[in-house]
Chain A
Amino acid sequence: MNTTILLFLVQDGITNGAIYALLGLALVLVFAVTRVILIPQGEFVTYGALTYATLSAGQVPGTAQLAAVMGIVAFGLDLYLARKSLHAKRILRAFAVNIAFPFAILALTYALAGRHNTIPVNTALSLLIVAAIGLFLYRIAFQPIAHTSVLVLLIASVGCHLAMQGFGLVFFGAEGLRGPAVSNAALTIGPLSFSGQSLAVYGITVAFIVGLWLFFDYTLYGKALRATAVNRLGARLVGIRTSLSGQLAFLLASLIGAISGILIVPITTLYYDTGFLIGLKGFIAAIIGGLISYPITAVAALGVGLVEAFSSFYASNFKEVIVFTLIIPVLVLRSLAAPEVEEEQD
């Protein structure tokens, strides 16, 4: 192997690793706030990427309709929950969030589809659609069982993954899609050439890591979110709205997923079920970080990306095997450093 190949593999590994880092961060974020192991994180990636690609092709993506339907269900749940004290103000609020918001997005999508939109417009619209889905997903699937055990939440999470992957197949078909690049700029340093796309990947990843770290460690609201995860009841007693924290976590996670998807869909062809595998690689990083640490997760994700890049060069047939088997040494290390297991109530 010569230096050029080495550098090329490192660059490839870091670009993929940065995406895994973004997803790993979202997984840690959601777990830290809600104790949900977010298996459907990969679907947010697929939805973001394929919604963007569909919009760029001038069509209306099915995800916009899904968001609207989920909004109706969420509105029904809100009304049912508040049935004993139905104030006009409360109904209006629920209506604004659950009905007006997604239908506005749907209307906008229909209005804009078919025209030659600029890339930022399509990106923004895709993000809006997926963010709405993320928000309603928490409201419908997780908020009613937020107090239960990690295991129960995980089962619900798997259910969401299944349903969303199935819908992905309905909306986008079994064929893969690609989208236009966010940036066509290029930068050459020595033998390496960086596309604007990969530079955008690096920039956004770093921005998110720093942002999340600052948010959770240095702001009152970030600390409130962490408190929710440790002790829901205690957090509620001191006035933290726990359901809102969960919705916020899911909103952020779906945004991060969708951004990752939009960043990679110009680089590789994505299929309706690709996101699952990408998300799982984020999980490997998140597990190395113990599902708590943002910086360790980010570094671990780069490691996963590099291992993947090098194994695709040396043993391309066994690339996935090697990446997923990484979990074993990781678990051994975690097991050696394991604190006593706490008893869980459910």
Chain B
Amino acid sequence: MSQRLSILVFALVMAALPLIPEMPPFWIVLLDNIGLSALVAMGLVLLTGVGGLTSFGQAAFCGFGAYTTAVLTTQYGLSPWLSLPASLVVSGVAAVILGVVTVRLSGHYLPLGTLAWGIGLYYLFSKLEFLGRNDGITQIPPLQIGHFKMLDAGTIYYAIWFAVIVSAILTLNLLDSRTGRGIRALRRGHVAAEAFGVKTARAKLLVFVYAAVLAGLSGWLYAHFQRAATPTPFGAQADIEYLFVAVVGGAGYVWGGVLGAAIVVILKEVLQGYLPLIFGGQGQLEIIVFGIMLVALVQFAPSGVWPWLTGLLPLKSRLRRPDTSIALSAPVRAAPPPGPLLRIDNARKQFGGVTAVNNVSFEVGAREILALIGPNGAGKSTTFNLITGVLKATSGTVSFAGQPIIDAPPQAITQLGISRTFQHVKLVPDMTVLENVAIGAHLRGRSGAIASMLRLDRADEARLLAEATRQIERVGLGDQIDQLAGSLSLGQQRIVEIARALCVNPMLLLLDEPAAGLRHMEKQRLATLLRQLRDGGMSVLLVEHDMGFVMDLADRIVVLDFGTRIAEGTPEAIKTNPDVIKAYLGAVA
């Protein structure tokens, strides 16, 4: 069953539920609560399971949504439909303020910040005169279409579940897009994503604001469902419960949020009935069970119930091969002036008292494979990092196609036409090979988050995926295109990195130990590929330890030792150079 069909079936089932004769009204109320909770949890899924961030401020964002509409409809007589955008904007803006100050910090500042802030806001809601203090705001008008008022749980049910299903579709669309790949790279692999032009801080902010807006929507619905807004449902307890919902359902899955909401709301109802009989007290004793379950889930079933459930159902997402006939226009770049493509002139890098790169100069010509070799600690990777803008040189210049690039950020250097692979493979293990490689073409697409949600990005997306597919086929991994990157062998992962780098359509390809972990046949295939690339007009600069591979492939070789260039020349000349032999094997006996 395809995804679209299953969503349609789900929507029809949900629409039919209240029509069942003799359906107890209390069950409808439960379903309403599940929907409201699912909306918030969906945002948390995106934040926690996909983005690797988390927030304890979601209830406060609900509060913003609820109080905004409460004030606007009761005090200014605004129609609830007009207060909806206001509710969403207020929650979104609140998230921007908190998001901007936390996105640059390590992951754990956001949950702590939102936790403290959420509690502060809870007190604010309960103290402000115009929000009715602890009594809140009552007599909020119901939602109304024409003369039809959504007064009872059975009618607002449709508004709530319409919102849930539409939000789920928009969220799924977002994740399956150029922006979505950037978001999914946040948790594991944001260093590489950043190198290919994904603005990770912005992606984090986007997810946070998106989650807050969903919470605001839930708050708006809640206010018109309860016809009142009081501080209690927007406190810290609710925040923690939302996190529980996301973890139970499956924090990595959009529908996991909906499933989690159903489990938690029903479980809570059952527990509130039975627990007082066991413990004899009153109050919210279900939190004991929730707490223990949360600890147990994290230990035994960290991916939640949803993946387990989908394993039982015949839900197979149909994998479609992207149409590789769609062309992606090459990035517009000025033609490089004649002469060497990359020129490194007296580059120097010191770490405190250690000189890692000591006034090194060399050039990479057009259509040339240059190998940078040297014993461990010779400064090869540091030189690489100076070229790609990861490290700033202490002195000296690096210029590419006639332009100095010494102080440019990594993204700008990528845009100029230099792309790289990493010594330690940096792929997003839970994304497919295709999706990982498509991150390489990130800067060649344009569609933003909103276009992606509304599926207006399809033409752009098809071009990116076609390009990614072409590059995957070019490196010979066409059969693995739909496998998860993490399931490939290390050697294959290195090749995936090369395909990703090729998606930039580079003029210069930097490869950091590409042959490490490859088998003999794979090395030969890699050498053939690199020769083809050179013959097609690309230059390659590679760091490699496998001498057989280097001597066979490189046009020229530069040898570094202790940060200093000790030799340069053709493979034949390097093989017999006494300084090189001394550096590798020690002094001649």
Contacts and interface: CB of A to CB of B under 8 A. Distances in A.
A176 to B, nearest CB: 14
B368 to A, nearest CB: 33
A165 interface: yes
A101 B119 CA distance: 38
Interface string A303-346: 00000000000000110111111111001101100100111111
A343 B113 contact: no
B588 interface: no
A283 B105 contact: no
A276 interface: yes
B108 A150 contact: yes
Contacts of B289: 166
Contacts of B293: 159
A145 interface: yes
Nearest to A170: B279
Contacts of B101: 328, 331-332, 335
A332 B121 CA distance: 18
B123 A324 contact: yes
B109 A331 contact: yes
B166 interface: no
**Interface hub of A159, A284, A323 (most chain B Cβ within 10 A):** A159
Given A331-B109, A334-B109, A342-B106, A159 B116 contact: no
A277 interface: yes
A325 B97 CA distance: 12
Contacts of B109: 287, 331, 334
A324 B294 contact: no
Contacts of A140: 295
Interface in A201-227: none
B59 to A, nearest CB: 14
B116 A162 contact: no
B107 A344 contact: yes
Interface string A257-293: 0000000000000000000110010011001000100
B396 to A, nearest CB: 23
B295 A160 contact: yes
Contacts of B298: 145, 148, 152, 155-156, 159
B105 A341 contact: yes
A312 B107 CA distance: 33
A280 B116 contact: yes
Contact of A276 (B53, B107, B236): B236
A182 interface: no
Nearest to A291: B108
A21 interface: no
A161 B112 contact: no
Interface string B344-356: 0000000000000
B294 A341 contact: no
B111 interface: yes
A154 interface: yes
B295 A335 contact: no
Contact of A154 (B104, B108, B116, B191): B108
Interface string A95-113: 0000000000000000000
A63 B125 CA distance: 35
B310 interface: no
Interface in B273-290: 279, 281-290
Interface in B240-254: 240, 243-244, 247
Nearest to B282: A174
A169 B288 CA distance: 10
B203 to A, nearest CB: 13
B287 A165 contact: yes
Given A156-B294, A159-B293, A159-B294, A283 B112 contact: yes
B107 A151 contact: yes
A92 interface: no
A37 B108 contact: yes
Interface string B161-193: 000000000000000000000000001111100
A328 B98 contact: yes
A174 B283 contact: yes
B108 A151 contact: yes
B199 interface: no
Contacts of B56: 158
A324 B189 CA distance: 33
Given A166-B285, A320-B119, A324-B117, A341 B52 contact: no
A156 B123 CA distance: 26
A176 B268 CA distance: 26
A174 B288 CA distance: 15
Interface in B45-67: 48, 52-54, 56
Contact of B281 (A155, A169, A276): A169
Q: Is the interface of B mostly helix, strand, loop or mixed?
A: helix
B124 A318 contact: yes
Contacts of A119: none
Contact of B288 (A163, A276, A323): A163
Contacts of B288: 162-163, 166-167, 170
Given A167-B288, A173-B281, A338 B105 contact: yes
A93 to B, nearest CB: 23
- Determine the interface band of chain A, counting residues with CB < 8 A from chain B: 35 or more
B97 to A, nearest CB: 8
Contacts of B189: 343
Contacts of A164: 291
Given A145-B298, A335-B104, A318 B123 contact: yes
A265 B299 CA distance: 35
Contacts of A345: 188
Nearest to A331: B101
Interface string A67-88: 0000000000000000000000
Nearest to A166: B288
Contacts of A167: 288
B77 interface: no
Contacts of B297: 159
A141 interface: yes
B299 A144 contact: yes
A253 to B, nearest CB: 16
Given A170-B281, A331-B101, A338-B105, A320 B295 contact: no
A215 to B, nearest CB: 24
Nearest to B426: A343
B331 interface: no
A165 B52 CA distance: 27
A160 B293 CA distance: 10
A331 B243 contact: no
B449 to A, nearest CB: 22
Contacts of A328: 97-98, 101, 113, 117
B290 A162 contact: yes
Contacts of A150: 106-108
**Interface hub of A162, A166, A332 (most chain B Cβ within 10 A):** A162
Interface in A187-209: none
B56 to A, nearest CB: 8
A346 B430 CA distance: 12
Nearest to B129: A317
A163 B107 contact: no
A334 B105 contact: yes
A167 B191 CA distance: 43
23 contacts: A140-B295, A141-B299, A149-B52, A151-B54, A154-B54, A154-B108, A156-B294, A159-B295, A166-B289, A167-B288, A169-B285, A174-B283, A280-B115, A283-B116, A287-B112, A318-B124, A321-B124, A327-B112, A328-B101, A331-B113, A334-B105, A341-B104, A341-B190
Q: Which 8 A-B pairs have the closest CB atoms?
A: A163-B291, A159-B294, A324-B120, A162-B291, A166-B288, A159-B295, A327-B116, A166-B287
Interface of B: 48, 52-54, 56, 97-98, 101-102, 104-109, 111-113, 115-117, 119-121, 123-124, 127, 187-191, 236, 240, 243-244, 247, 279, 281-295, 297-299, 302, 426
Given A338-B105, A341-B190, 14 more contacts: A140-B295, A155-B298, A156-B298, A163-B288, A163-B292, A164-B291, A165-B287, A166-B287, A166-B288, A318-B124, A324-B116, A327-B120, A328-B101, A335-B105
